[in-house]
Every structure is written in structure tokens, then in C-alpha cells.
Structure 1
Amino acid sequence: MKRILQRMTLVVSSFIISCSMTNVPPLYASAQLTAQQYMNIPAAVEQLAQDTLSKLSLELEFSSFANAELLIMPLGPGTHGYIVHILQSAEPVGYLIITATGSSGYAVTEYGTGSTPLFSSLLYPKDMTSSTDMHDSRFMKYNGTLAYWQVTDHDGHSIHIDASNGDQLPDFVSYASSPITISKSLEGIQPEDQPGKLELASIPFNPSSNLLWLVSDALMIHNAAGLMKQLDRHERLVFSAHKQNMWYSGPLAITGYHSWNIKQSDEALIFARTGTSSAQIRYIPIDKLLGCGSFYVPAQHNEE
């Protein structure tokens, strides 16, 4: 049974599930995933993941996705989604988040590159005295742009850990309302959609390394066109939701965008590129940002 479980852990690009015990990634060796979880992953989810990777890998930004292996894990209860870790030589190089849509289909609602993707075991605090399996879907939560683990300490108190950086979150994350986005319905990448323009405006940076943007005027950006116009000028931006920044893992460094052409729509789907280092670059739908905060031009200096 153990060998069967390990064989089911990785889904290779040819859809042949065939990995031996020696191919199980060390970073995931502690995951107590059941064979039943993997048998319940819909074929449509696997197909969408493979289709999306084949399209992304044509860009230099995502070249490490070519011929990659996939580890697909269910997200927490009520999420109706999956986290897909993209692996090369058993090491992570990126991720996808796939979510069920209202039309009984699936869509890629976030993706990214780097060696420490969302829910990476490298981000889980080493000093946590919990026997919780970090890859158990019961403890993996995803709300808007915030990914986190919810675990329990020895006293029965809930602890919330940001799955993008390993920081402990305030307790109110479990009951406070997340920001309401302008999206009227769930939008994401589906198999018939095609990638469009990829604009890399700047290298990753840390908005907290120079806080002069806090005393500057916010840019008048109210729609996708306005944001893309700024980034097309190779201008990096900071997005801040101020008091609600916790829901975004802090103020975000916006360093570019990626557009997708939607088959049955005249409007493109735009993902904002964000991240403070190349170890984790996230592409999130800009509709999750517009109307939820403000954009600023950070001070230019030699922080890099």
C-alpha cells in the first residue's frame, strides 16, 4: 500500500503516474496524504494543470515549467480547489491554484514561480511544536490572495501561519471578513484561453525597505488599463490595502502583469505580478486588488 501511495504522488507531464520511492521529493516526504485523496482528484484538474503549464513554459519567465512533474493537493474544506506544486528534479519551481467554477468546471486562479511556492514546507516554521502534517488539506486555507495554515497548539488555541512567508498571523483572520473585490464572478484561466502579453516592469523588491511611498499621493488607478499603462512604462508599484494588508501578506510589490485572451470575451484576464524575491513570484488576478486599496510609486534607490 505504501508503494502504491508513493507512486500516486507525482503526476508527470505525460499523464503517466509512475514514480518510485526514490523519486518522492524530500520536501514532501512528511506529507501524510491518502491514496483516496489522489484518486478523487478530477481528471479535468490534471488536464487543466497540464494545459496551463504547456502554455506558460513557452515564456522565459516560466521556462522551468517545461517537462515538469506535478504534485496536486486538495486545499481546505469549502475551498473547492487544489494547490499544484510544479517540480523539476524533485524540487519546486512554481505552483498553480485551481478552483472550481460555478459552471461545474475548473479555472487557474493564481500561479507563480520560485523555489518556495505557496504552502512550501520550507516556509513552515521550524519551531512549531505541532505534529500537524502541513500538507493535510484540513489545515491548508486559501482566502482571496491570502494562503495560510490553520493549526492548533497544545492548549487548543488556533494558530494561523502565512503560507507565503511563514509569518504568524493575527487570530482575527479566522473570523474577520476579507476584502470584497470587484469581481462579480470567479474568473480564471480555462483550457481554451491563450496567454497574451507578459510585461516584466522591474525586478522584485521589498516595499518595506523604503517607506517613503507611505507619504506620497496614491496613483489614480481604477481599472486594468490604468494599471497596465503604469507598468508598461517599466515602473514598479506598491499596492497597499492599509489596515487590511494582512489579507495580502503585507503591501505588495507590483512588478509586471500577464494578460490572457478569453475565448468567449472581448476583455482580457489580467494577472498582476508580485513578489519581493525570485524565490516566490505570484501572479494574482488584478480584480482582487482594484478597489481594495491604492497604488503608489516607491522611491527609487539602490536597495537591490
Structure 2
Amino acid sequence: MKSWTTWTATCIILCSIGFMPLHTSAVDNIGGTSPTQAQVKEPTKATASSPDLSSTSTFSSTIDKWQSTLAKEDGFTGWLHAHWNSYPLGPGTHGWAVILTDQGQEVGYMIVHAVDGGGFRLIEYGTGSSPLFSLATLYRSLIQRELIPSTILYDEFVQNETIIKDRLYMDTLTSVWKIALDDETYYLDAKSGELLPLTEDPTPRMAYALSFPSDLSYGTAQTLKRPPVDPYERMPWIEGTPLQVTSLPELKIALEQQGDLTYVTELYDAQVTMPLTVLGYQQWIFGDNYLILEHNGPRYVQLDASLGLGEIYP
């Protein structure tokens, strides 16, 4: 286990250094010749991937309500006038990735699952220019790794049906692109675009309880959000002892008493150790609680699921 951890820490450090330009350069021209300047077209909301449900709370109206509510929160101002597009997640998941775009720039995302009794659950959401399952991030990553030619334009890449692009969201932080290209299959992290050491689809580490829909209708959330720090400055998961954090009250105490915290989870049968800075939490009155993690931008992941799949270190 320590050998995997050491290998992973080294690998991620090198990847993060090499990947820095992918997430800092602005994208501004979809028709341009530069692979780092692919602008994201503003999508329309009427997409084939949106579910056709006859409930009073339709998919489109639910996403619009969540977008309007979240746009009032600190850090979400870019959502106010954004357009969104939805994409199906994997076979049989009844889930969708919703990408928000404002004036050609990606500004955030939502991961949404249908609830068995009707309605929808907000599994995860986030802000920033590198949303989960961003085609722009995937495009730049494949070019940087020379898996597609640098001469292919962004819009050509998106429309190229010979490159199979499947979005797999198995559980919290187990989110990957599955790319079929030239008789080869590649798996890339859905947030950073890093190439993963996988040869087959990852298996879910847990099943989500989808018994009731998300409710963000009661005012603003209670939020604590700190500036990000580099988890590799101390790497507490190598030799340290994790804290006993299993609930939001315990997380609040840890944030008050311990200062900077690092969330660590083991992915893909312990082939990858992922350490992420804990930025804070977001608590909705009658909704879910979310753990805020820094991963190429803030990720708001369901608190209970995250604490069940990882550990927090001081």
C-alpha cells in the first residue's frame, strides 16, 4: 500500500506540474488553430439527453431552480446568466452531467440523478473554468498526451463520432472519461484530464440512497469556505493519523481546532491515492450537506458519502 501511495504522490505531483497550463489558459476561439484556445459553444437547453418525465418537477425546471438558487451564493456569480447543457452519465445510472457556460466560457457543473419516486437529486456541483466532464479539458488533455493530432480543431473533436467519449460517474470522486480511440481504450480523470492506470471500467465503491429529491428552496445555505492550500506541502496522509470525522458537527470542530485539513481517498482498488484540500462545507436547511474540496476548482460533494469513502487528516 505504501508503495502505491508513494508512486501515486509522485505521479500526481508530476502530473499537476505538467498540467498547469491546461487549466490556466483562457479559451477564446472555437475555430482557431491553437488547441489551447478552444472556446465552448453556448449550448441550448433542449437536448436529447434530458429525460422525458411527466412529473410536475421536470428536469429543465429543476436545473433552472437550482441554478438560480446557487447563483446567489458566494463564488457562483458566474452562474446568474449562464446557459446549460446536459449529458448522460454511463449506462443505467439515470444520471446527467450539467455543464454551465457563460459567454463561451465554462463556469460550473452539476451532477444530477433521477430519484425513484420522482424528482432529482443534486449529487455534486462545482464552480470554475474546469468543470467535471468538460469536453474542453478532455480535448486539451488528449492533445497534450498526443492521443489525438494537434491539428484537429475543438469543434471537429466534439463532433467526431469515431472517438467514443463516455462519461462514467460511479461514486464520489470516482468520475472518469472512457475514451475509445483507434482500437484502444483510455481512462482519464473527469476533472483534471489526467491519464489513469485503468484497463477496465471502475466499479462503484458505494450506492447512493436516492429515496428523496434535493431541496434547495429554503433561502441561502450556511457555508464556510477557506482559501486553498497545497496538500503536498506536508503530505499528512503518509505518516499521520486521520481524524475521527463522521458528521458535519465533527467536521465543524475539526475546521475550528485543526486549521488546514486534507481529504484523502483511495481510488481504483488503491491504484490511486487522491489527496484534496478541504475548503469547508455548505449546509442547506432542508437539503443535503456538502463537503467542499479543491480539485482544479471547488467541488461540492455530498458530505456523508465522502466521509464514508475517505479520511480527513490535520
Give the direction of change, closer, same or farther, for the CA distance of 1:276–1:73 in structure 2 (3 Å limit): closer
Give the direction of change, closer, same or farther, for the CA distance of 1:150–1:63 in structure 2 (3 Å limit): same
Q: Is the deviation greater in 202-211 or in 142-151? A: 202-211
Counterpart among 294, 303, 306 of residue 286 in structure 1:
303
Q: Is the deviation greater in 108-117 or in 190-199? A: 190-199
Cα deviation for residue 113 of structure 1 reads 0.4
Task: Give the letter for the 1:82 counterpart.
Answer: W
Counterpart among 223, 234, 249 of residue 198 in structure 1:
223
RMSD: 3.5
Give the direction of change, closer, same or farther, for the CA distance of 1:27–1:157 in structure 2 (3 Å limit): same
User: Are 1:70 and 2:95 counterparts?
Assistant: no
Query: Structure 2 CA distance, aligned partners of 1:87 and 1:230?
Result: 35
Please say if residues 142 and 148 of structure 1, whose CA atoms lie closer than 8 Å, have aligned partners that are also in contact. Answer: yes
Counterpart among 169, 180, 183 of residue 152 in structure 1:
180
Give the direction of change, closer, same or farther, for the CA distance of 1:105–1:188 in structure 2 (3 Å limit): closer
Task: Give the letter for the 2:178 counterpart.
Answer: Q
Matches within 5 A, 1:1-304: 27-28=39-40, 37=48, 44-124=58-138, 125=141, 126=143, 127-129=146-148, 133=158, 139-145=166-172, 146-154=174-182, 156-172=183-199, 174=201, 176-180=202-206, 184-185=209-210, 189-190=214-215, 192=217, 194-200=219-225, 202-232=226-256, 235-242=259-266, 250-262=274-286, 269-277=288-296, 280-297=297-314
Deviations 1:196-220 (A, max 9, x none): 21111x2123323432442122111
Give the direction of change, closer, same or farther, for the CA distance of 1:70–1:135 in structure 2 (3 Å limit): farther
Q: Is the deviation greater in 64-73 or in 135-144? A: 135-144
Task: Give the letter for the 1:251 counterpart.
Answer: P
Query: Structure 1 CA distance, aligned partners of 2:230 and 2:77?
Result: 25
Query: Structure 2 CA distance, aligned partners of 1:192 and 1:70?
Result: 20
Give the direction of change, closer, same or farther, for the CA distance of 1:209–1:234 in structure 2 (3 Å limit): closer
Task: Give the letter for the 2:86 counterpart.
Answer: I
Query: Structure 1 CA distance, aligned partners of 2:272 and 2:77?
Result: 27
Counterpart secondary structure, 2:169: strand
Cα deviation for residue 52 of structure 1 reads 0.9
Normalising by structure 2, what TM-score? 0.71
Please say if residues 149 and 162 of structure 1, whose CA atoms lie closer than 8 Å, have aligned partners that are also in contact. Answer: yes
Counterpart in the other structure of 1:15: none
Counterpart secondary structure, 1:158: strand
Give the direction of change, closer, same or farther, for the CA distance of 1:79–1:191 in structure 2 (3 Å limit): same
Counterpart secondary structure, 2:301: strand
Task: Give the letter for the 1:149 counterpart.
Answer: W
Please say if residues 48 and 107 of structure 1, whose CA atoms lie closer than 8 Å, have aligned partners that are also in contact. Answer: no
Please say if residues 264 and 311 of structure 2, whose CA atoms lie closer than 8 Å, have aligned partners that are also in contact. Answer: yes
Query: Could you list the runs of 5+ residues in structure 2 that have no partner in the other structure?
Result: 1-30, 32-36, 150-155
Query: Structure 2 CA distance, aligned partners of 1:109 and 1:248?
Result: 22
Query: Could you list the runs of 5+ residues in structure 1 that have no partner in the other structure?
Result: 1-21, 263-267, 298-304
Counterpart in the other structure of 1:11: none
Normalising by structure 1, what TM-score? 0.73
Give the direction of change, closer, same or farther, for the CA distance of 1:238–1:173 in structure 2 (3 Å limit): farther
Counterpart secondary structure, 1:47: helix
Determine what percentage of the aligned residue pairs are the same residue: 22
Counterpart secondary structure, 2:90: coil
Task: Give the letter for the 2:92 counterpart.
Answer: G
Counterpart secondary structure, 1:226: helix
Query: Structure 1 CA distance, aligned partners of 2:159 and 2:133?
Result: 8
Query: Structure 1 CA distance, aligned partners of 2:253 and 2:92?
Result: 37
Q: Is the deviation greater in 106-115 or in 222-231? A: 222-231
Please say if residues 71 and 77 of structure 2, whose CA atoms lie closer than 8 Å, have aligned partners that are also in contact. Answer: yes
Counterpart in the other structure of 1:19: none
Deviations 1:209-256 (A, max 9, x none): 432442122111122221122235583311123465879881222111
Give the direction of change, closer, same or farther, for the CA distance of 1:243–1:64 in structure 2 (3 Å limit): closer
Q: Is the deviation greater in 219-228 or in 208-217? A: 208-217
Please say if residues 97 and 111 of structure 1, whose CA atoms lie closer than 8 Å, have aligned partners that are also in contact. Answer: yes
Deviations 1:39-79 (A, max 9, x none): 75657121111111111121222122112222222223222
Task: Give the letter for the 2:117 counterpart.
Answer: S
Task: Give the letter for the 1:55 counterpart.
Answer: T
Give the direction of change, closer, same or farther, for the CA distance of 1:245–1:254 in structure 2 (3 Å limit): farther
